[in-house]
Structures are given as C-alpha cells and as structure tokens.
Homo-oligomer: A and B are copies of this chain.
Amino acid sequence: MPVINVVRQVLDSNDRIAGGNRALFDEKGIYVMNLMSSPGAGKTTLVEKTIDALKGRYRIAVIEGDIQSTHDAERVARHGVPVVQINTGGGCHIDANMVREALPGLPLDEVDVLINENVGNLVCPAEFTIGENDKVMILSTPEGADKPSKYPLMFHESSVMIINKIDLLPYVEFDIVKAKADALACNPELVIIEVSCRTGQGLDAWVEWLTTRVETFRKGRA
C-alpha cells in the first residue's frame, strides 16, 4: 500500500523535525502550546485573552496558522506581541517543518511562552506534533456534544479541552455532561475547563492551568 508508506514517511519526518524544534525550545526555555479546534470555535479570541492575562508575567509570542490571509495575525499583533503568520496554501494543518521555518521571524531569546494557533480543523492537526509541551483543544457549544465520539484523536492527544461559548448554552442543544463523559472516554487524563471568551467567564481557571504548566516546565529546567 504505497499511500500508507508515504504517510508513514511524512509522519516520521515530522517527528524528527519536531524533536529538533523541541530541543531548541528547551535550550531557550520556551514553553510551547499547540492550539487546535474546528473553524470558528474561538482560538484567536482565546489567544487574545490569554495574552492580555499573562502579558505582565511572561513574554509571549504567537505563530498563526491559516490556509491563507493574515487576518488572525493582525488581530493578535494589536496586543503588542511578536507574531508570525504561516500560510499553508491549502494545507489543512501546521506541521513541525512549517513551525521551524517560522521561528527565525521571532525573537526567541526574548520569549517565555510560544502559542501556535493551528488551522481550524478538528481532524488533521492532531496527527502532527510540532515540538509542543501541550496540545490544547477547544470545543464550542454550538458544535454539539457528539464530537468526541466522532473525532476522537484530537480529544485523545490534547492535555486540555476548553469548552468555549458557554454563554450560548441557553440557545443551543449541547449536552455538556455527555460531552465531558465522551471526551474523558477518549482520554481519561484530559483536563476540562468551561469558559466564555466573550463574557470572560471561566478564563481565570484556564490562565491558572496554563501558568502552572509553564512554571512546572521552568522548574524542570532549573
């Protein structure tokens, strides 16, 4: 089956490059997050809120992954942090090599936390590590509670599932108990945090989780 061999080679090569990225991040002391979700679940808004919450504490940089356009990078740049836009030109995810090629555009000696916002896609990004410390995923309430059972890999690969748009719960059919149970069936270690990026509800818990992860990473290096 040649197609399967090609895919395997691509993934092996990706893992090698991701290892190189990781070694560089360790050398520079940079905690790295890979943020994934369906289109429109709220990745860019979460990035903006996270920057604003952590700006005094950590030096943040962002890599924005999109098929085309610089829309999200422009939004993020307004928050006063260095940002590089990857345009995948049709590609449905960012991979380790795209991140490696983006890194010279960032002042890595002055970065504590690097946020990678992936292409909006609940499938393919979960297959490609980029050298991150944590994969973080967002499930938004309008998407429905059946997503863990239908797209299990992303739930399996992530450290955290952020349930976003909880302000819409009165207006959408979203069985939050089922969504959590099915997500935990994919990944019993998954941390689940409910937020509304729009109203700010729950963001404290997210920022606390992230801060703890960054501090644990820094202590491991000390």
Q: Give chain A's interface residues, CB within 8 Å of chain B.
A: 3, 6, 10, 38-40, 66-69, 71-72, 90, 92, 119-124, 127, 140, 142-144, 146-147, 149-153, 165, 167-168, 171-173, 198
Contact = CB atoms under 8 A, between A and B. Distances in A.
B3 A147 contact: no
Given A142-B168, A168-B171, A39 B119 contact: no
Question: Which 10 A-B pairs give the minimum distances between C-beta atoms?
Answer: A40-B143, A92-B123, A142-B142, A40-B144, A38-B39, A39-B122, A38-B38, A69-B149, A92-B124, A69-B150
25 contacts: A3-B6, A38-B39, A38-B120, A38-B122, A39-B122, A39-B150, A40-B140, A40-B142, A40-B144, A66-B150, A67-B150, A67-B153, A68-B149, A68-B150, A69-B149, A71-B149, A90-B123, A90-B127, A90-B153, A92-B92, A120-B150, A123-B124, A124-B124, A168-B171, A168-B172
B165 A142 contact: yes
Nearest to A90: B153
Q: Which of A90, A119, A198 has the most CB atoms of chain B within a 10 A radius of its CB?
A: A90
Contacts of A69: 146, 149-150
Q: For the complex formed by this chain, how many copies does it contain in all?
A: 2
Contact of A121 (B67, B92, B143): B92
A90 B121 CA distance: 13
A183 to B, nearest CB: 14
B153 A120 contact: no
Contacts of A150: 39, 66-69, 71-72, 120
Contacts of A151: 39, 67, 120
Given A39-B144, A92-B123, 15 more contacts: A3-B6, A3-B10, A38-B39, A38-B120, A39-B150, A67-B153, A68-B150, A71-B149, A90-B153, A92-B92, A92-B121, A121-B122, A124-B124, A142-B168, A171-B171
